[in-house]
Amino acid sequence: MRSFSYIYPMQKNVYLVYFLTMLAVSFWGISYVWMKVVFEYYGPITTMFLRLTLSSIFLFSMLGLLGKSEKIQKNDYLSFVWLSLFSPFFYFIGESFGLHLVSPTIAAVIIATIPVFTPFLGYVAFGEKLTKLNILGFFISFIGVLIMVLDFEFRFSASPRGVLLLFFAVISALINILFLKKLAMKYSSATIIKTQNLLGAIFFLPLFLIFDYRDFIVTRPSADAIWALLKLAIFASTLAFMFYTIAVRNIGVARTSIFANLIPVCTAIFSFFLLGEKIDASKILGIIIVISGLMLTQMARLRKKKKTIINPPPAG
């Protein structure tokens, strides 16, 4: 995967890399709050169509000005279509409609389990080895999610349909990885992101015209809603991915993923202060348990990486 070094040449400035990583995590964390603000005026379909369209315009304009546009080869067209179908289209359908039914904190915690499921995808699709820490981390995170969505009598305190939609988003993101792994070897992250967002907007366009257009033309959103939509497009759907990619290129996937585990914490904090969401003991406990499970899965990656460095495989 090519880097954004032409934008931020910072291999030697590790502190700036960590700062940008925290910015990406913060943008993704607060994005659930911004979406709730936009949902007061627009439904999930309109929100995602506008968010992806604005992000595409921003990225195409920026890369055009920098002269860094890449041409996609014809034999990769279908792969990009499948990539964009699962994410952002299917992913955002699950995430947006799920967030419409549950609190931002619960949504962020469920979406944060994607790294927990990733090793299982690697095992099924690529024959990658599963470690005991991977399996233990999965069960711990799953228990944490249950604590957050069930009450003390084991009844759903959150919408079951909302929870299922969010797990649909998780599954979509995992399938997306299968196509992303191939394309990331040939194209820069900027090219992949702008193409995904453009195709995602095209996928959402028919749904927008059929279900939401009439309401859209008569709705007069507040300045806060318009500003939240712009922040979703620019900060959450564009800059956060760029900053995260910079981090992956400079400090590695495993270390960057550990920072990403803080997204639910950021969401809980922003939701508390900006939306007045009640963060009770069960949510706090659930967040701690889920993040503990996530950390275990990342420890497995770090150990594997360390072992590879200390005992490199024989050449040839």
DSSP state of 252: -
Query: Rounded mean pLDDT of 2-24?
Result: 68
Question: pLDDT at position 307, please?
Answer: 46
Give me the torsion for CA of 201, 166, 258, 145, rounded to 10°.
170
Q: Of 79-83, 126-130, 138-142, 247-251, which one has max mean pLDDT?
A: 79-83
Sign of CA dihedral 35, 39, 45, 49: negative
pLDDT, tens digit, 9 for 90 and up, residues 81-96: 999 999 999 999 999 9
Cα Rg of the chain, angstroms: 20
Question: pLDDT at position 314, please?
Answer: 35
pLDDT band at 40 (very low <50, low <70, confident <90, very high): very high
Average pLDDT, the chain: 85
pLDDT, tens digit, 9 for 90 and up, residues 245-276: 788 777 776 667 677 778 898 999 999 999 99
In the predicted model, is pLDDT for residue 71 greater than 80?
yes
Give 215 or 120, the one with higher predicted confidence: 215
| Closest C-alpha to 79, from 220, 177, 213 | 177
d(CA 104, CA 244): 21
Percent of the chain beyond pLDDT 70?
A: 87
Give 302 or 192, the one with higher predicted confidence: 192
Sign of CA dihedral 198, 199, 205, 208: negative
